[in-house]
Structure 1
Amino acid sequence: MKKPPFGALKANNILGFLCVILGVSDFAHSMHYNYAVAISSEAYSQADWKNVADSLVRKHEKNGTAKLFTWSSSVNDIKEELSGFKPDYIGYIARPAIECNAAFIVSVSRLSRQLDSDPYGDAVWGIITGYEASDALRAISESLTVKTVLAASANLSYEPPIRRFYQALGMTCDSYTKTDYLFPESEGKVYSEEKRPENEQDRIILVSKWLNAESMSLAISGKGSITGPVDCIITGGHGNVNLWQCHYPEAGTEGYMRSSGGKLFGSPYSGGSIAIAAPTPKIYWCASNCLMGNPNNKDNVVYAAFGSGHAVQMFGFVNNASAGDEFMAWGVYDRVTKSAGTYTLPQGFFLSNNNALFEINNPSGQMNTRLVEQFMDSTVFYGDPAGDVKFYDPGDSAKAFKSDITFEQDNSGNASFTYTFTMVAHDLEFGTGYCYQFRPASLLPVRIDPSSVEITKNEGHKALITDNLLIWEVLSQGQKLAKGNTKTLQWTAKITDDKTGKRIKTYSPLPPKKLPKLVASVKKSELLIKIKDIPKGSFDLQITDLNGKLCFQKKLNSAGVHEQSFSIGRLDTGSGIRLILLVQGGLRLNVTSVQ
């Protein structure tokens, strides 16, 4: 038999077929993002820091488009280039103290909001640094799923059904004995007792031991056990640039954690210094401590955390924490942990920072916006902002709230968006906590033209929609969103960039449509036609040769079910290539066959 032409497949030496699906395609969700790597030309001229930058580019080229940007006199030199690139993430590489300092943090924080015409954030950003370049290289190379949390100077709250962590241990800052346990099997319930592990009343001895351990191993008979390395330490107590006081408000008879020369040391109230050499990656989350994020001196905590402390990420305050820090302290903390697994720490930092700006620009009357403003550029996230570092996800039923975005695009690039916000754990009332913890804020799954936005449904109040960000004032004074209830916001806009990827974990693409399909086969010399997902109603079936000569025609009926088969019987039309055509209104499907 003559070899069939391209597109015709031979099957059982009798009939070959190729399915061709015609119809409107769904919007393709691209798993890519733009990542900018920014570094000074002087640092890039040094082999070790150049290796950090090149490694970061190679890492993110695997998931999107990564590009290197070098600056000479100021990081603001690259503003125009960054603006044209439209990054979703920016990793600012900075050498310790000489580049990475308080002034640099202010510059990059503001630069990251100045890449387009609106005043809000344009990219999730982080500063990548270390006492040595090798510390920075290690930090960007490691991944982590946070399961074990040590709240070293704080209690654990029992907020059923909310589960902030997989497992955790908390030691209240003003007590020598009170200890809280969140066991993996406890479904979020917290067990407390007036007894520290090992009856140790100087927690710095315990903290030093656990940071140095490959795994904690704690068990309370009849209650549960905690096993695994410390993945995240939340500090609390009182902080300084090179010192952490665990007991609060006074140090009492407990020790300190100190930093020097890129190393952490436990300094107990009595006894010798304990060198920290953490064997596993960790997040150092200085949620509300003064000064622990300050990078102005190489002996500061920042460089020790990324040195012997084995940090992959860190959050902290550059200046003193005080009134007005709610958005950047507890706003970040609650947004990340009360909906655990939804946002990464850098995403929570980004959203809370922009929520603070929304509060400043649209005062709720609940906050002193002058005090809020001072912390927008004096808090900092260190680490790769798109790194594979995330918190354990306990599922939607264990979260305070759930939000979701879906969108559907037409052929012209216009899209219809739907955003929903649901309270899962409790009622939500308008007030101070609502403003900094729960006001809906979300990265968009695609970039849009904000001038094209038309809101078609708004069950709340003011909705800010930029090219990459949504912040929605869903409640106002005296209003409440009851547990289990949902508010919906819908709008249309022109999509300008469909690169998405890690920009938003909660993005849920619409389920793919079932597209009609036509298949032809031969069984015992009879032609069988199989149709899938053809709408209910009549359709015409035609069979022609390659010259267009009609060999067969019949009107058949579709029942509208997923799959149907029709036997055409034997066709006495001789050998050759046939074109089988199905026509139903505007639907046309065809398949070639060879007999």
Structure 2
Amino acid sequence: MIVLPTNFTIKVGLDWLPCPLSKVISIRSPSIMNKNILAVCIACFVFVAGADASEYSVVVSRQTKEQPGWQAVVDALLARHSKAVVLVWHEDVSEVLPVLQKQHPRHTCFVARREEAGRDFVAAVHRLTRQYDSDPYTDTLWGILTGYDAENALAIAKTDKPLAVKKVASGTELALELCEQGVWYDELVKNKKVTKEIGGVPTEQQGPSDTTRALADTLTKGAADLFVTSGHATERNWQIGFRYKNGTFRSKQGQMFGFPLEGKSFKISSSEPRIYMAIGNCLMGHIDGPDAMALAWMNGLGVRQMVGYTVVTWYGYGGWGVLDYFTEQPGRYTLTEAFHANQHALIHRLDHCFDGVTGVSLEPGSQRLPVVPPNSVGKQLGLSAADCRGLLWDRDTVAFYGDPAWEARLPPQPKAYGQKLVVEGDTYTLTITPHLASKSFEPVNTNGAQRGWRPIVQLLDHRIQKASLLSGDDLGVVITDDFILVPNPRVVDSDRDYVIKFKAERVD
């Protein structure tokens, strides 16, 4: 709800700007409002906010904003993002859509108490952020900033120093060769441990049969910048071993505890800022109460950004694919960008491989998934109706928690292919350069589900319109207002250049 009293004010950064209006206007449900009143409200709001204010929007419920502790969270975001604008909703987060469509912010941060941030809210944010314009893709870099309590959320909101992800720890196999330093313990093979030191290569070692304490130590003594998990989980625990018996991590009242197979349980606590990717766990991203695992990661273990499923996971595209963009293209994307690049890839596959499904709206976790066979493009990729069901299952059920504008990224490392965008006036040239000969476009690591073969995604730092392709049309390129997507060529053609050139107008 946006309340505009007779002499209303809208918060832009830390300044309050007055704007007279003859009456109180309350946006509750746009579908039942008088369209003329809505248009006046939006026009006045955008006039006050100005074009620059569209870079960052904070969306919060009135009930949350009225609590002093949570108002402090909003204020902290405004202090860090000086031209941010606050949008307040009353009954449903979709009420702010008309204003978001006008602003079209690059970042949208949804501040929410734990009572609000359940799986339905995550799905609502997914749906809302695909409606800023007419294309089927996500239209903003979004995140849900929540926490165990306002104090926890405030610590997340105040974190401004970018995170260089130098130490990685994982409970499942990952491409450690592309990380500066780290360790992973195999969830499939008992006693398998792989480590890498700075300047070295991944080396397999004998690990403990019960890795509960060892993994906990990577978060406390080792201070891992990135923690990755997969395997069985619920909202209350992570079962560390997938194919063999192992210990568990369990949450209670915003704190994390280790439960080894033998011996006493112990508390796992750290305040070091880090990111967490629950790329293959069921329910790790579902906040269903104060004992939720997600809240313990944020409150008890310093997690500032987190990716995780709010439902059981059986397909995996929405989770595992974030690794393809983040750890396997080191330095190219922040975690926020990697999450959204994978979302673009998922929507692209739905849109281009199955007819008439991108507009299908489903309740998160619904078993009423449509049975849609692939079209000719999907058949060429070997897809089936089961893939359509899996993509729809994943589309709105992976949460991204944290401030979306906060930057966490791996140090740059050599990549399988290069991508360089050059902008000269209204001409854009994207050049893709294979670096690994015939293997340049192949999967880097195949552990997990739905790995590899992701499209090449080039994010833009500004919006464009009226794009006209000049070259590269045979690559199946998709050009939207804020990113360029090139389907994975799969086979490297050494006799051609991978160059996409187009003209477009910049949106100011």
Same fold (TM over 0.5): yes
Partner of 1:131: 148
- 1:240 deviates by 1.3
Q: Note closer, same or farther for the CA distance 1:495–1:191 as it changes in structure 2 (3 Å cut).
A: same
Identity of aligned residues (%): 26
* Counterpart secondary structure, 2:264: coil
Provide the rounded CA distance (Å) in 2 between the counterparts of 1:374 and 1:111. 17
Q: Partner of 1:406 in structure 2?
A: 422
The change in CA–CA distance for 1:486 and 1:56 in structure 2 (over 3 A counts) is: farther
Paired residues of 2:228 and 2:276 also in contact (CA < 8 A): yes
Match of 2:232 in 1: 238
**1:140-177 CA distance string (max 9 Å, x none):** 222321111111x223447xxxx421101011113332
Letter in 2 for 1:147: K
C-alpha displacement at 1:435, in angstroms? 8.9
1:483–1:305 CA distance, 2 compared to 1 (3 A): farther
> Which 10-residue stretch deviates more, 34-43 or 142-151?
142-151
Pick one of 348, 355, 369 that aligns with 2:338: 348
Tell me if 1:444 matches 2:460.
Answer: yes
Task: Give the partner amino acid of 1:138.
Answer: A
CA apart distance, 1:474: 5.4
Counterpart code for 2:79: R
Matching of residue 92 in structure 1 with residue 107 in structure 2:
no
> 1:249, CA displacement in angstroms?
2.4
Larger radius of gyration between Structure 1 and Structure 2: 1
1:268 is matched with 260
Equivalents in 1 of 2:495, 2:174: separation in Å? 25
Count, aligned residues: 422
Equivalent position of 2:502 in the other structure? 491
Runs of 5+ in structure 1 lacking a partner?
A: 1-29, 217-228, 410-414, 498-595
Deviation at 1:486, TM superposition (A): 4.6
- The match for 2:306 is 314
Distance in 1 separating the partners of 2:122 and 2:172? 28
- For residues 483 and 71 of structure 1, do their structure 2 counterparts lie closer, same or farther at Cα, with a shift above 3 Å needed? farther
Q: Is the 8 A contact 2:320 2:451 kept in 1?
A: no
Q: Give the C-alpha shift of residue 428 in structure 1.
A: 4.8
Residues 246-395 of structure 1 mapped to structure 2, 5 A cutoff:
246-250=240-244, 252=245, 254-323=246-315, 325-326=316-317, 328-363=318-353, 364-365=377-378, 366=381, 367=383, 368-394=387-413
CA separation of 1:496 and 1:437: change in aligned 2, threshold 3 A: same
User: Once the 2 structures are TM-superposed, how far is the Cα of residue 445 of structure 1 from its aligned partner?
Assistant: 2.8
2:16 matched residue in structure 1 = none
> In the superposition, relative to structure 1, how do residues 435 and 306 fare at CA in structure 2: closer, same or farther (>3 Å)?
closer
Question: Which residue of 1 is the match for residue 361 of structure 2?
Answer: none
Partner deviation per Cα, 1:167-211 (whole Å, 9 max, x = no partner):
01011113332210111111xx21112x22xxx432101122332
User: 1:118-161: CA deviations, max 9, x gaps?
Assistant: 2211101111000111111112222321111111x223447xxx
What letter matches 2:435 in structure 1? V
Give the corresponding residue for 1:140. 157
Are the aligned partners of 1:43 and 1:50 in contact in 2 as well (CA < 8 Å)? yes
CA deviations on 1:392-414 (whole Å, 9 max, x unpaired) are: 223xxx212221211112xxxxx
**Paired position in structure 1 for 2:203:** 191
Deviations 1:427-486 (A, max 9, x none): 25888989954311122232111xx221111164322212112212353xxx61258975
Distance in 2 (alpha carbons) for counterparts of 1:117 and 1:105? 21
1:164 lines up with 2:178 in the alignment = yes
Matches of 1:317 and 1:294 in 2, distance apart? 7
Amino acid at match of 1:230: A
Q: Return the alpha-carbon distance in structure 2 between the equivalents of residues 155 and 464 of structure 1.
A: 32
CA distance in 1, matches of 2:476, 2:272: 45
- Displacement of 1:292 after TM fit? 0.6
Does the 8 Å contact 1:460/1:473 carry over to 2? no
Say whether 1:103 aligns with 2:124: no
Contact 1:459/1:488 (8 A) holds in 2: no
Structure-2 separation of matches of 1:235 and 1:282:
14
Give me the whole-angstrom Cα distance separating, in 2, the residues matched to 1:278 and 1:430.
38
Q: Is the 8 A contact 2:275 2:304 kept in 1?
A: yes
- Alignment match, 2:216: 208
SS in 1 for 2:137: coil
Counterpart amino acid of 1:85?
Q
> Cα 1:332–1:437, aligned 2, differ >3 Å: closer, same or farther?
farther
Offset of residue 103 of structure 1: 0.6
Q: Give 1 or 2: higher helix fraction.
A: 2
Partner of 2:137: 120
Could you say which residue in structure 2 is the equivalent of 1:83?
A: 101
Partner of 1:184: helix, strand, or coil? coil
Which stretch shifts more, 486-495 or 423-432?
423-432
Does 2:432 correspond to 1:418? Answer: no
Q: Which residue of 1 aligns with 2:39?
A: none
Structure having the higher strand fraction is 1
Tell me the C-alpha RMSD between the 2 structures.
2.3
Paired residue secondary structure (1:107): helix
- Which runs of no fewer than 5 residues in structure 2 stay unpaired? 1-50, 354-376
Identify the residue that residue 18 of structure 2 maps to in structure 1: none
| 1:42 alignment partner AA | Q
Which whole-Å CA distance do the structure 1 matches of 2:484 and 2:451 have between them? 15
Q: Offset at 1:329? A: 2.2
